[in-house]
Structure 1
């Protein structure tokens, strides 16, 4: 029996839904050794919005991969077909929307268990916004309106995640306060335009498509605002 596959999660601050240059999506595809990786888009957090699905298909058709979409609001696969499909993927790419709704729907269909199994078998699981939040123990989310700590994730990433760290008013200060007060555990903060690859629970690489965009580790330090430590991010493209 060979060594266990690496367990990898990519937290994205961009991708096909926000960027035209495809740099972060190209980086995601490059993380798998498969010559034509299977990439399944899971748009649950948006309610399987048709426009979002079409945006994914437009972005990934014609690229050197095999794209598919897993819809749960108009589900067509039975339990065994659903398991077979998810476990055959090289990349599971989760879209943005409501983190709380995504987690509830996944649990209703048993997809939370399948995501953990796919991750343990070596699939790269990734996503933007809610699609980054869902993998962690906890996150900072606007699923309930105001920014709120949510300790309800899948636990594939230890600690918490906060997306849109530089682009949504109040995110940065609110997240740092939540970590400082112990309402959220220490975690990962993503500015728009960055990607963070975690392998076996450890930081492996940070990348950025935008000059000046950063990712951070955020820790409690006994002060009113938690401490930020910037991560080295390799520029993508030219």
Structure 2
């Protein structure tokens, strides 16, 4: 009788453990859009969290924690069913009682702003924020952003972070492709992206117009969304020695 009870108990524990493992597997989600944050994009991020009144944190590192950028963030969030936060990178121990990890891993979503991608990546690495973002990604916290805030999640792409010319920058590589934001709004972006891919300086990747965005889940393309019917996203690669620009269907217009 004791042996039977022990077997039943052991079986129950095993099945319980299996259930917890299945439920505990987080979906890794990135929402990359081509330009700056807008109220429409923030509304969409809220839906991605699948939570009521989610905590969403803004990282303005690429503009050096610029006050105007932070004010624009709060304006974009005004009236939305969310709790907006800001995580500055230019901080002091005397004024910040929590670590970057404690703050960021308590969020439901993290949005990265535009600006100087190269400087942002250097600061993140120095502060260990890059490692925290990887933990957030694996935890299932929604990651997103536009411009530098979209480029940062990919292997790399072209940036205006240096004087004179657009140049290549290496990024976090959560999505193992290249990326081009501002695809049609800045005339030099598209031809340079084509040339870099054709010459092998960049891998194939995703190009996004300012008012469009792409959702990735577990490093796989899921869908393209847009604010209007003129904005799109593309997959750019080399086929038979020539650039192949594949238009990705827009599945949802964000209101």
**What's the TM-score once normalised by structure 2's chain length?**
0.86
Q: 5 Å matches for 1:20-39? A: 22-39=39-56
**Partners in 2 of 1:77 and 1:231 — Cα distance?**
43
Tell me if the contact between 2:36 and 2:113 (Cα under 8 Å) persists in the aligned partners. Answer: no
Q: 5 Å matches for 1:70-89? A: 70-75=87-92, 76-77=95-96, 81-89=99-107
Structure 1, unaligned runs of 5 or more: none
Structure 2, unaligned runs of 5 or more: 1-19
- Partner in structure 1 of residue 213 of structure 2: 195
**Partners in 1 of 2:243 and 2:45 — Cα distance?**
30
| Higher gyration radius (CA) | 2
Which range moves more in the overlay, 228-237 or 105-114? 228-237
Q: Does the C-alpha gap of structure 1 residues 212 and 58 become closer, same or farther in structure 2, counting only changes over 3 Å?
A: closer
**Partners in 2 of 1:41 and 1:106 — Cα distance?**
14
User: Number of paired residues?
Assistant: 231
Tell me if the contact between 1:193 and 1:209 (Cα under 8 Å) persists in the aligned partners. Answer: yes
**Partners in 1 of 2:116 and 2:151 — Cα distance?**
10
Tell me if the contact between 1:42 and 1:71 (Cα under 8 Å) persists in the aligned partners. Answer: yes
Shift of residue 15, structure 1, vs aligned partner: 4.8
Equivalent residue for 2:34, pick from 5, 13, 20: 13
Tell me if the contact between 2:212 and 2:232 (Cα under 8 Å) persists in the aligned partners. Answer: yes
Shift of residue 26, structure 1, vs aligned partner: 1.0
Instruction: Provide the secondary structure at the position in 2 that maps to 1:184.
Output: coil
Shift of residue 92, structure 1, vs aligned partner: 0.4
**Partners in 2 of 1:104 and 1:60 — Cα distance?**
28
Shift of residue 23, structure 1, vs aligned partner: 1.9
Deviations 1:116-135 (A, max 9, x none): 00000000110010000111
Moved over 6 A (4+): none
Deviations 1:130-175 (A, max 9, x none): 000111111121111311122x211111111100000001110100
**Partners in 2 of 1:61 and 1:85 — Cα distance?**
21
**Partners in 2 of 1:162 and 1:64 — Cα distance?**
31
Which range moves more in the overlay, 135-144 or 54-63? 54-63
Tell me if the contact between 1:60 and 1:67 (Cα under 8 Å) persists in the aligned partners. Answer: yes
Q: Does the C-alpha gap of structure 1 residues 61 and 210 become closer, same or farther in structure 2, counting only changes over 3 Å?
A: closer
Query: Does 2:75 align with 1:54?
Result: no
Please give the root-mean-square deviation of Cα atoms over the aligned residues, in Å.
Answer: 1.6
